Chain A
Amino acid sequence: GQSLEQPSEVTAVEGAIVQINCTYQTSGFYGLSWYQQHDGGAPTFLSYNALDGLEETGRFSSFLSRSDSYGYLLLQELQMKDSASYFCAVNRDDKIIFGKGTRLHILP
């Protein structure tokens, strides 16, 4: 089948760095995307990897390795406002598949 696996929850301390992993069982996709969703809000786009390697956007970075069927989102200098759910997603011609999401808890 086609699925993306993420940890259900991750906890980190304010100011620290956290990595959210995403492993997938699908093929033929254009790239791996990451979205952030605060409680009661809409998902918002964070990052996209079309090619293997690291993409950096401010405090957020994302990585993709197609050979390992693996990607991750790296959040640096964590702030309390980063407390949210994070979803990885793959884009194909015929559909978009989201993971179940990782709930990030940040401790002061």
Chain B
Amino acid sequence: AQKVTQAQTEISVVEKEDVTLDCVYETRDTTYYLFWYKQPPSGELVFLIRRNSFDEQNEISGRYSWNFQKSTSSFNFTITASQVVDSAVYFCALSEGGATNKLIFGTGTLLAVQP
């Protein structure tokens, strides 16, 4: 069965610090997709990144970077030089594909960036 674990419930950092949000997943499929979403205090979920199981190349987008390691079933998210606007709940999610493409979410990590 699919499962996504975000062991860090809450993280608090001071502005300009780097922070890594952990995500560990479980799946029996060889083809799957991983996602990260951001949920700011306003509530909407904002898509950040999608990665398929065949692409282990790390990705960087501005201050955001993602480290995908199949050997440890992890898809960690790092924010460099954090800013107050990064304060949000961050969700990692897994989809095994197929016609329904259901997305299974982790429980989220609340990131608080203090000025």
The yes or no verdict on A and B being binding partners is no
**Which residues in B have some Cβ–Cβ distance to A below 8 Å?**
none
**Which residues in A have some Cβ–Cβ distance to B below 8 Å?**
none
